Amino acid sequence: MIAGSASRRLRTAVAACATAALLGGCVSTSAGPRGLYATPIGNAPVTANPTPYSAALYCMADYARRYNLPSPRMAIGRIADYTGTVSADGGRQVTGGASLMAIAALAKSGARIVERYDTSVSEMELRYANNRLIGDDGPGGADDVQYRRILAGSVPGSDFYIVGGITEVNYNIRSSGFDLAAGEAASQTPLSAAVAGKVYVMNIAIDLRMVQTTTLEVVDVVSYQKQIIGREVSAGVFDFLDGNVFDLSAGDGGLEPVQLAVRALIERATVEFMANLYGAPGPEVCLNAGPDPLGGTVGPTGGFYSAYPNTDTNNGATRADPSRWHDRRDDAVRRSRY
């Protein structure tokens, strides 16, 4: 028995040493010929980052090109996170880049965009040019450098700008779960098992407004929310076999990306803003020919002044329809060729 016990201890020690050696071999303390201690894992390529409303934005751009509709000059101001939420590690729970998402959404819709969000480089170069510190090549090429002139009216102004913020993050709107465990009590080698699962729902909301730059009149307002779902499933087995303890467990979980939900909210709002500015006679401009499965749905969200005299047919009556413009929920949405 003593010899058997010592043999088991020896096997355990050898296994531990082998595991430590294997782990130690994964990372070297000396950089290899490529200058790396270790090769990063993962080989996923860079991909596009669309939302279900991106197709509608591209379609809006197609509509404007098809009918030669001029886009007003658009600018993006601050779209801040007003929720004040922080994550467990102390960072932001909600993205601070909503303004950048809005700029990308405007570009997808074919809008003309002027920079107002970060003008630090332009302002610095304007100061340098005002002091004749910046030179540009003259008619004679690089040997004929002339200082940059400041010309009145060279910077185009914006017609409208979009501002607002992320205003709601509500955790655990609804949650449910189960936890089941069972085991043997009388057996000398008791076996026990456990299974658990949880599902929970949260939501996030934005409030955006479009302002006419010259008059500061708020001409359009959109307020949207989106629910986000998370789930977690786990199972495990615990057993004694011949004096050995086995504890096996596995699980799976996932949370719908919160920041992608913010991008989807902003893209949906941008579709509504640009449909109004282009004078689109409603979502049907981006639908295939034939009957509209969502026809007759009404219920505007926010308030706006129509940019064109088409209040009886424009997109305002369909803003509250959660499936409208959604490329996987609205079967009639026409995909753009771009």
Rounded Cα distance, 16 and 24, in Å: 12
Which three-class secondary structure state does DSSP give residue 233? strand
Residue 269 gets the label, from left (phi > 0), alpha (psi -120 to 50) or beta, of alpha
pLDDT at res. 287: 59
Indicate the pTM of the whole model.
0.72
Q: Tokens representing 82?
A: 């007003």
Q: What is the mean pLDDT of residues 103-115?
A: 91
- Pick 246 or 203 by higher pLDDT: 203
Percentage of the chain beyond pLDDT 70 is: 72
pLDDT band at 34; cut points 50, 70, 90: confident
Q: 319 Cβ partners below 8 Å, 6+ apart?
A: 222, 272, 299, 300, 301, 302
Rounded Cα distance, 54 and 264, in Å: 8
CB-CB contact of 208 with 266 (8 Å): yes
CB-CB contact of 79 with 162 (8 Å): yes
CB half-sphere exposure, 43, CA atoms < 13 A? 1
CB-CB contact of 318 with 284 (8 Å): no
Q: Tokens representing 113?
A: 């965009």
- Pick 146 or 117 by higher pLDDT: 117
- Pick 220 or 241 by higher pLDDT: 220
Strand partners, 191: 239
pLDDT at res. 334: 62
- Pick 304 or 254 by higher pLDDT: 254
Rounded Cα distance, 8 and 11, in Å: 5
Sign of CA dihedral 152, 158, 159, 164: negative
Instruction: Please check the confidence at residue 92 and state whether its pLDDT lies above 80.
Output: yes
Instruction: Please check the confidence at residue 16 and state whether its pLDDT lies above 90.
Output: no
Q: What is the mean pLDDT of residues 75-83?
A: 95
Neighbours of 206 (CB within 10 A): 25
pLDDT at res. 168: 94
Instruction: Please check the confidence at residue 47 and state whether its pLDDT lies above 60.
Output: yes
pLDDT at res. 290: 42
Sign of CA dihedral 140, 143, 149, 153: positive
Angle between helix 98-108 and helix 258-277 axes, rounded to 10 deg: 40
Instruction: Please check the confidence at residue 125 and state whether its pLDDT lies above 60.
Output: yes
Alpha carbon dihedral 331, 297, 56, 292, in 10-degree steps, equals 40
The one-letter amino acid code at 289 reads A
pLDDT at res. 58: 83
Range with lowest mean pLDDT among 8-17, 30-39, 107-116, 131-140: 8-17
Q: What is the mean pLDDT of residues 305-323?
A: 60
CB-CB contact of 331 with 293 (8 Å): yes
pLDDT at res. 1: 47
Q: Quick one: the chain helix, strand, coil %, rounded to 5?
A: 25, 30, 40
